[in-house]
Structure 1
């Protein structure tokens, strides 16, 4: 299967470099380029990409806003955020909006290709463990998370789940694979996959990274950080 890829970055040299690097992969097709987040809706409607490589910093509509708007649409393509930094609240905002992960602009081409392939197949490119490290790095140590409205909302959302599903959420938040969750919770791997799919559907989440974010927001991982 050929993966249709849209590249959005305000720097024409970056776009050209990415197109050159990624265009050599036999299973990737660069279907278009954009210079600003404001162009994303029309480009997606016209070109129907499977994955969007989205720069964060753009002059008119930034990549975060574009990602939020795009991922709120039914049947939206996956988004991989492009950034020159790896620990910033902006990256967390992109992940909360439904981005499947992020890659640094200086990432080796083969790794960017692998990231695009992963998200096209439905897997996030950022593990829950890395997500937790990112959240810990940007956290305000003086912030009282116990009274955080986000924590209350996260706990309320988890209240919609069955007990077994909440156990799976906690395991995903700890960065465990399906096989590890199956072994820990004494269930089969297909059953774990079914639980994960149900959790995503019930809570209107996009991927396992968002499950990990929800577990963090609810304070389920506090004893481990």
Structure 2
């Protein structure tokens, strides 16, 4: 095994890629040998470059990161995949693990943890940071069928807004009158994480206040 870890980096935001590449290549034992901006390109890069590690974002055009990781698993590729995302939702985490990802890191992960994750995955381990580990631990004792249903089946009604399970959970808690601080304590997430989910669900539902949020949630039977 070479002393240098070969990495393919895939993210549809070039500035993000540039920043991550600079971070990685500041380490003498890491080398980015290919870059792409969607899941389909990731598959081609893995085939052409044969990297040890694929670091890939979730939400991208043409093919998502999770779909790409799942396809690589079907192809019995030897590449080890790390999902890099701004989302710490339970749904994304469990889908990533089921697809075959060996790691899941948030984009605000610090350099030391990022490098540690790569080394851990390269050596055959798995690495999930922060709240992500808590999600996995909380699901260890659930029957596998229940986990699959939780991942694939949305709560509530028609859900035309493409809300994640975590956003639906926070929607229910917001409409029950809990503050962000109370929700963060109940879900054992940081207040900043709750605020991000709350902002995202209100943006997706195109509402500006709690009254409109409540009306739209009831209209579509989301709670």
TM-score for both structures, normalised by structure 2: 0.58
Unaligned runs of 5+ in 1: 138-144, 154-225
Aligned equivalents of 1:152, 1:120: Cα separation in 2? 27
Query: Hey, what does 2:145 align to over in structure 1?
Result: 150
Query: Hey, what does 2:40 align to over in structure 1?
Result: 38
1:12 aligns with 2:14: yes
Unaligned runs of 5+ in 2: 149-223
Structure 1's 56 and 135: CA in aligned 2 closer, same or farther, altered over 3 A? farther
* Matching residue within 112, 115, 118 for 1:113: 115
Aligned equivalents of 2:89, 2:115: Cα separation in 1? 22
Instruction: Give CA deviations for 1:193-213 in whole Å, capped at 9, x if unaligned.
Output: xxxxxxxxxxxxxxxxxxxxx
Instruction: Give CA deviations for 1:116-140 in whole Å, capped at 9, x if unaligned.
Output: 111000010128x954534749xxx
CA deviation after TM superposition for structure 1 residue 72, in Å: 1.9
Instruction: Give CA deviations for 1:60-114 in whole Å, capped at 9, x if unaligned.
Output: 1111101100122224300000111223301210101110120111111221111
Structure 1's 121 and 149: CA in aligned 2 closer, same or farther, altered over 3 A? closer
Aligned equivalents of 2:95, 2:147: Cα separation in 1? 18
* Relative contact order, higher structure (CA 8 A, sep 6+): 1
- Number of residue-to-residue matches in the alignment: 143
Is the CA contact (8 Å cut-off) linking 1:67 and 1:79 kept in structure 2? yes
Query: Matched residue of 1:59: which SS?
Result: coil
* Matching residue within 36, 48, 51 for 1:49: 51
Is the CA contact (8 Å cut-off) linking 1:56 and 1:62 kept in structure 2? yes
Query: Hey, what does 2:25 align to over in structure 1?
Result: 23
Aligned equivalents of 1:10, 1:37: Cα separation in 2? 9
Structure 1's 74 and 109: CA in aligned 2 closer, same or farther, altered over 3 A? same
Aligned equivalents of 2:87, 2:147: Cα separation in 1? 30
Query: Matched residue of 1:16: which SS?
Result: helix
Equivalent residue runs for 1:131-170 within 5 Å: 131=133, 133-134=135-136, 136=138, 150=145
Instruction: Give CA deviations for 1:142-168 in whole Å, capped at 9, x if unaligned.
Output: xxx7xx882599xxxxxxxxxxxxxxx
1:77 aligns with 2:72: no
Query: Hey, what does 1:178 align to over in structure 2?
Result: none
1:62 aligns with 2:54: no
Aligned equivalents of 1:86, 1:108: Cα separation in 2? 16
RMSD: 2.5
TM-score for both structures, normalised by structure 1: 0.58
